[in-house]
Amino acid sequence: MDYDAYGVKIAMNEVLLVQAQNAKNPPTFFIQFAPYNTTQNLSQCSINYTDILDTYVYCVAVGKKPDQNQTQFFFAGELINSRNGTFIGVAQYNQTNIGANTSNSCALSFSYSLQYLINYEHQEYYVIGIEPQNRFAYGFSNLFVFVFDSANGSTLEQWNGNLTWSNSSFLPHAVDISNNFGIIAGFIQNDPRGRVKYSPIIYLLNFNSSNRHPIVVDQYIPIATPGTWQDLLSYSDANIYSAKYDMSISINSRGDVLVGMQFINRVFLFSVNISDPTQLIYISRNTNGRSLGNGKSVAWLDNGNMAAILINTYSLNYQWSSSQIYFHDMRSSIYNSNSTPLSIFPNYHQLLPQSFSPIFLNIVSSSTSLALMDDNGNLLIFIATSAGFYPSVPATGSVPLITSPQPCPPGMYKDKLGINDCILCPTGTKNPGDSTIQCISCAPDTFCPLGSVSEISESALETIAQLIAYPKSPESTIFDEVLIQNMFHIGSNRCLLVSPLFWTLIVASLAILVIIVLKMLKCFVNHKTYAQIKNRIHCIFKKTDLIGEGELWVGGLASFSMVVLVCFAYAFSNAYYKQYPIETSADSYFACDPSIRNAKFQTNLQTLGIPPSDTEKKMFDLLNEQSLSLNIEFINTLINCDVISIQAQYGTIWSTIRWSNCQNNNSILFLSIPLPFQHISVQITLAQVQTIGGLRIGLSGGKHEEEFYQLKELNFYGSFSKNGSVLSQTLPVSLELTKVINETIPIEGEESHFTGIYIPTYTVDLNSLFLTRDQYIHSTSQMIVFLSRNIWSSVRIVQIDFETNISFRLSNNVSPPQEI
């Protein structure tokens, strides 16, 4: 197809869209009248070229703001079989020629007027620009420049290009014209002896007020950064037409200028003072890495507030790989290489139509519409939508394809008129589906990430782990040693409060205080009163004497300390006895060391390649035969179950499986999938345009008890979320399971007891699992969750229940009575 050869074959304004179709038989102009929201027969037609056999049209063009009586378009080309056939033409629409019952009335209402440029052969580069009122056409090549007046008998005034170009070697590639200035870009030839044969250049044109002749008043030459791949280009073949050297220019009403040069992968932004258009002021540039195609075509939208940039990606030898349109908000953000587009087409819910080629060639615009042409000449017209709506692209339909307004999906919004897509609600805001113009603030302390549809409790992201870390095995297994170490240990802080010795010393201190008080009474109280008090105290403490069997009152004082010590010993022993098994015991807060347990541990890692012993095999079999269900929760989303498809891999074949339970409650989509095998890969596809804030993945399985073997119930979850991000469209998650077998070996007499459970290990890259706003804009695919499950080695934990002998012995040492 020739749609990418020698010029732009499509043009558009607020009146009509026209496309040159050289490859048609016969060659025709396709015309679509505004408004562009219908493809009825009366709004479009095709008209044959003036000379069907010999005419080749380079390009078509229209003025941006035509007068009401200027319904016409211009075209430029040459007669293929003639040496002197270069021409400029205009097709003018005369509504009075329409017949009342004519099916193709618009075709009959156009009349042609052509002017030939005598004495000029084939031109490799020949471009035309139309002044906004759609009356004057300007033609530019290396050899000639002309002004074509479509109003006064279609008169043509031409002159030699040397009279206009400050460099006579200038080869024009693209042009655009505003009310009082024009921009033209191309190549100029350098010294033939130099390495760089040609250089790109941009001219600022003014127009003579008397004869409208263009005059070069300023220029800009892009300079490659030393050491970059652009610095290595020589442009040795720039004088021969090649699509890779295509340039594009667009000027808005404020004098802002976009210039795309795809061969150096750059788009330039300039500014011209519309009151005094004598300087071309460089503002910024956007580059797109080591490839070609950035700025293949450019256009202004929304009265110059938004820029549309066609970015094709070609290799350095001009092999195509992708096409996208970037929409940039030029009023509220700075345009440069770090700029984030407002939206990109195609994206995950503005998909490419089935009949459309993925190779984009050109974009043209009116103030509220944008037309896209692919390499087969197919057309897609984007119609601006109001706030809260985006242009939905039809999958199929009549020619050209035309977008229709659709409300912004939940989790997104759009606050003004435009062709761009909706954007994600910022973190901390939500759109449940009825706030498409402005997102609503979420309540504090809720899970409300980028693109939220609801505010979710933080508890919905709880991670459930079923296995606890085993503490360090105790150094001593003799209870007497453990008891003595705890009884006579004094630490600090909490250890001081649980220390038996500390409280024993407190009571002993009180006993000493009693003795001191008695000594003081002897000095300050008369003998008779003192004797009565002393005898009464002696009597009381003798009754509590456990040491001297009621003979020593001092023994009574000491007995209080002994009772405190014994009570602590009993309490410790009772609590320590209950610290088994470890799975049901809590931290040992009754001791200074909260990790002590009434068991000794031994941990071994055993590869599955080693056969288990006869006593272990039953536990391994129970684990291998456990039926598992994959449980997934998509958090903060409105996705429904009817868009979910699930496939599992059986060997090398993917087959569809079903879920056992699926429901969306409170913006949490729960999905439970029975797994036919333990070693399996599962792919879940969600074919719906929705955002997802977080993810929980877990497994569940039933319990089973059989003699000395207990298979524990499995029910764990891993939670994944990232602040300021939304879940990616492709979610590779690897879940590896490890068999954990706990063997409890009694001291004597009984068989070992085995318990078994799986513990998970998730392999997830959060940077790949979640997208920022910028990354989300670039995404194009539907949601796919790919989860693989593997069972790795087993961990064998031996828990030995050692004998706990608790005994208390009081030694009755008889001492002679003492008198104080």
- Are 569 and 805 in contact, with CB atoms under 8 Å apart? no
- Are 274 and 254 in contact, with CB atoms under 8 Å apart? yes
Token pair 């059986």 in the structure block, residue: 650
Residue count (the chain):
820
User: What confidence tier does 214 reach under pLDDT thresholds 50, 70, 90?
Assistant: very high
Distance in angstroms (rounded) separating the CA atoms of residues 729 and 781: 6
* Nearest of 165, 197, 77, 85 to residue 128 by alpha carbon: 77
Q: Which of 72-86, 92-106, 254-268, 329-343 has the highest mean pLDDT?
A: 254-268
What are the structure tokens assigned to 84, written together? 């002197």
What pLDDT score was predicted for residue 819?
31
Distance in angstroms (rounded) separating the CA atoms of residues 676 and 698: 16
- Are 63 and 132 in contact, with CB atoms under 8 Å apart? yes
Average pLDDT over residues 451-457: 94
User: What confidence tier does 374 reach under pLDDT thresholds 50, 70, 90?
Assistant: very high
What pLDDT score was predicted for residue 469?
67
User: What confidence tier does 751 reach under pLDDT thresholds 50, 70, 90?
Assistant: confident
For residue range 326-362, list pLDDT tens digits in order. 999 998 888 999 888 999 999 888 889 988 999 999 9
Distance in angstroms (rounded) separating the CA atoms of residues 637 and 128: 52
What pLDDT score was predicted for residue 101?
42
Question: What are the structural domains of the chain?
Answer: 10-411 (2.130.10.10), 479-596 (no CATH), 603-800 (no CATH)
119 vs 284, 311, 601, CA distance in Å?
A: 42, 38, 101
- Are 205 and 217 in contact, with CB atoms under 8 Å apart? yes
Distance in angstroms (rounded) separating the CA atoms of residues 5 and 27: 15
SS3 529: helix
For residue range 6-19, list pLDDT tens digits in order. 999 999 999 999 99
Distance in angstroms (rounded) separating the CA atoms of residues 217 and 225: 26
Distance in angstroms (rounded) separating the CA atoms of residues 785 and 765: 13
- Are 675 and 630 in contact, with CB atoms under 8 Å apart? yes
- Are 550 and 792 in contact, with CB atoms under 8 Å apart? no
pLDDT above 70: residue 772: yes
- Are 463 and 719 in contact, with CB atoms under 8 Å apart? yes
What pLDDT score was predicted for residue 320?
92
User: What confidence tier does 552 reach under pLDDT thresholds 50, 70, 90?
Assistant: low
Buried b / exposed e across 444-465, counting CB within 10 Å, b at 16+?
Answer: eebbbbbbbbbbbeeebbeeee
Phi-psi region of 303 (alpha: psi -120 to 50; beta: other; left: phi over 0): left
pLDDT above 60: residue 28: yes
pLDDT above 50: residue 810: no
* Nearest of 512, 371, 518 to residue 36 by alpha carbon: 371
- Residues forming a β-bridge with 475: none
Cα torsion through 557, 559, 563, 565, rounded to 10: 90
Segment holding 431, helix H or strand E? none
Question: In the chain, helix, strand, coil percent, each to 5?
Answer: 15, 40, 45
What pLDDT score was predicted for residue 183?
97
- Are 547 and 558 in contact, with CB atoms under 8 Å apart? yes
What pLDDT score was predicted for residue 780?
65
pLDDT above 90: residue 426: yes
E strand intervals along 213-303 = 214-220, 247-251, 256-261, 266-271, 281-287, 292-301
What secondary structure, in 3-state letters, does 581-618 show?
CHHHCCCCCCCCCCCCCCCEEEEEEECCCCCCCHHHHH
Q: What percentage of the chain has pLDDT greater than the value 90?
A: 47
422 vs 341, 430, 799, CA distance in Å?
A: 12, 14, 59
